[in-house]
Chains A and B, each alone.
Chain A
Amino acid sequence: GAVVSQHPSWVICKSGTSVKIECRSLDFQATTMFWYRQFPKQSLMLMATSNEGSKATYEQGVEKDKFLINHASLTLSTLTVTSAHPEDSSFYICSALIGRRTGEQYFGPGTRLTVT
């Protein structure tokens, strides 16, 4: 089946620093990837839709200057959390759209970010 990887799986950083998270589709090309955030005991919340070769589409309330998304190739999308603060601590998950017609997604294993 389709495999999506994320790196790093876990990161701790100090407040004010920036963190880059990579999302890769390993055995297929993904023109569309999604970035989600999940707080404990809550559901996934879509942050942005990343389209290869174009600007990401951000959800209402998500600061595009704080969460920088780059989808430079058909197999890689990156999310950079700039000037991270403790409230940014969360589980960040990416997914790749497998079936444009069916809408099926395959998710990466997630990145747990802790900002101290």
Chain B
Amino acid sequence: RKEVEQDPGPFNVPEGATVAFNCTYSNSASQSFFWYRQDCRKEPKLLMSVYSSGNEDGRFTAQLNRASQYISLLIRDSKLSDSATYLCVVNRGTGNQFYFGTGTSLTVIP
């Protein structure tokens, strides 16, 4: 089983739609969780950390479910500029090394 698994998509949604991605992880000792965004042929950029109580940043909401070992990202009111690959990143237990999901591709259509 992979350490971090994501549905690769692609997700094609119309502008204004709400879309949600899930990511499961296998290491129950993981402590840090992140969503990164990667545009084609570019480096990943941190979108948001995921906190235990869930957190929101504008149109983006991240949730963590430790019992089921998954994190989610909800994007409301999708914009064309949200089109990218969204990477789920989980640390390896308490260490400073990280597992990356394969990414979920999102295309927002006019």
The answer on a CB contact under 8 Å between A103 and B34 is yes
Residue B46 interfacial (CB < 8 Å): yes
Interface of B is mostly: loop
CB neighbours of A34 from chain B (8 A): 97-98
Name the contact of A43 in the complex, choosing from B41, B43, B46, B87 (C-beta under 8 A): B87
Interface of A is mostly: strand
The answer on a CB contact under 8 Å between A100 and B96 is yes
The answer on a CB contact under 8 Å between B43 and A46 is no
CB neighbours of B100 from chain A (8 A): 36, 43-46
Q: Please measure, in the bound complex, the distance between the C-alpha atom of A106 and the C-alpha atom of B34, giving whole angstroms.
A: 12
How many chain B residues touch A (CB < 8 A): the figure is 20
Residue A107 interfacial (CB < 8 Å): yes
Residue A105 interfacial (CB < 8 Å): yes
Q: List 27 A-B contacts (CB under 8 A).
A: A34-B97, A36-B100, A42-B102, A43-B102, A43-B103, A44-B44, A45-B100, A46-B98, A46-B100, A91-B41, A93-B43, A93-B44, A97-B96, A102-B32, A102-B49, A103-B31, A103-B34, A103-B91, A103-B96, A103-B98, A104-B34, A104-B46, A105-B46, A105-B98, A106-B46, A110-B43, A112-B41
Q: Report which A residues bind B (CB closer than 8 A).
A: 32, 34, 36, 42-46, 49, 91, 93, 97, 100, 102-110, 112
